[in-house]
Amino acid sequence: MFDGEVPAKKHKDPRREKLREVRKGVQSVHYSKECKRVRELLQRRYKARMKQLMHKEHYELLHNYQRTSGWHTW
């Protein structure tokens, strides 16, 4: 069948799998949720932007200001 040769076993490369979906978690479990590190960065950027708008008194732009519990909304 193989003439005495054993076919090479294909192993999964966990590094390649992690790099494939950097921003998203496992789709079947976390539908459209992002990983923890990305959520932290987005929340930090969001809070900084809202603070800047409040200090500049641009209150009309704060209509979307809400806690999102990790969901990316804008």
pTM: 0.41
**Is 73 part of a structural domain of the chain?**
no
**Is 6 part of a structural domain of the chain?**
no
**Is 37 part of a structural domain of the chain?**
yes
Torsion of CA 64, 67, 72, 74, to 10 degrees: 10
Strand, coil or helix: what is 34?
A: strand
pLDDT, tens only, 53-73: 878 887 777 766 655 555 555
pLDDT, tens only, 6-58: 778 888 877 777 666 555 555 555 556 677 788 888 889 888 888 888 788 87
Q: How many structural domains comprise the chain?
A: 1
**Is 5 part of a structural domain of the chain?**
no
What range defines the domain where residue 50 resides? 23-64
